[in-house]
Amino acid sequence: MYYFIGDIFMNEENLIKYYNKFNEDKRLNTRHGQVEFITSMKYIKKCLKEFNNPKILDVGAGTGKYSINLANDGYDVTALELVKHNLKVIEKNSDKVKVIQGNATDLSKFKDESFDIVLLFGPMYHLMTDEEKIKALSEAKRVTKKNGYILVQYFMNDYCIIRYGFKENNIMSSINNNEIDNNYKIVSWVDNLYSPVRIEEINNYNKIVNLKRVKILSQDGPTDYLRKIIGIPCYSSYYEKQRSLSL
């Protein structure tokens, strides 16, 4: 089954099957995953300090790693998630998070300017077309208050080329299979689960939706490169330092 919005589509069926098996919490609980999570939480909380009794919308909440932690810290959190299995996990692990099934490209369940902070930490990985990504950003902007923040994560094209293509020696087979174009841009097919982008594309989305970038971070890719190093003893002191900074 494909999810249609006009002529925009993504492979919803494959996406649901994937996340019925993939354990996102387990990934974020690995050593390198904790660096990603702690770094993200640090900047989320930095934004939250600007508001009194802020309301948070976690779009594409997964199994609630961010939603539950923020709700446990006393914040008003609504989690919107496509996969029913993930929603059940959130409900099982927390009675503080409001859960709603839905899609990032259609936030019609929410009124304009309803939230101080909107998290888009998963959907932009899986929306195949520019139109879908722009729609998701537009909806996030609509439900965010004028002085609010939208925190967005993207799946970066050049990271994939460096790691999967060159580091894992798949570059020639990917080119021969037309998975990469002449500019080393990964081709997004409807059956794909991930749609990588470059910074130039993100800049264009922001321009179209009229979003102003406050900060850009790279909390995932670098720690992935350092997986082996992040297991050594000296990492413990770094981890504790980062954890204390996020509190």
Query: Alpha helices, DSSP H only, in 94-198?
Result: 123-126, 130-143, 157-160, 171-176
Q: Which of 44, 50, 81 is nearest to 63 (CA)?
A: 81
* Confidence check: pLDDT of 2 > 60: no
pLDDT for res 34: 79
pLDDT for res 225: 57
At 159, the pLDDT band (50, 70, 90 cuts) reads confident
Task: Report the C-alpha gap between 156 and 219 in whole angstroms.
Answer: 12
Most confident of 3-7, 60-64, 67-71, 187-191: 67-71
Q: Using one digit for the tens of pLDDT, what is the confidence trace for 57-109?
A: 999 999 999 999 999 999 999 999 998 889 999 999 999 999 999 999 999 99
**Percentage with pLDDT > 90 across the chain:** 51
Residues 207, 209, 210: CA angle, nearest 5 degrees: 60
Provide the whole-model pTM: 0.80
Task: Report the C-alpha gap between 194 and 189 in whole angstroms.
Answer: 9
pLDDT for res 36: 81
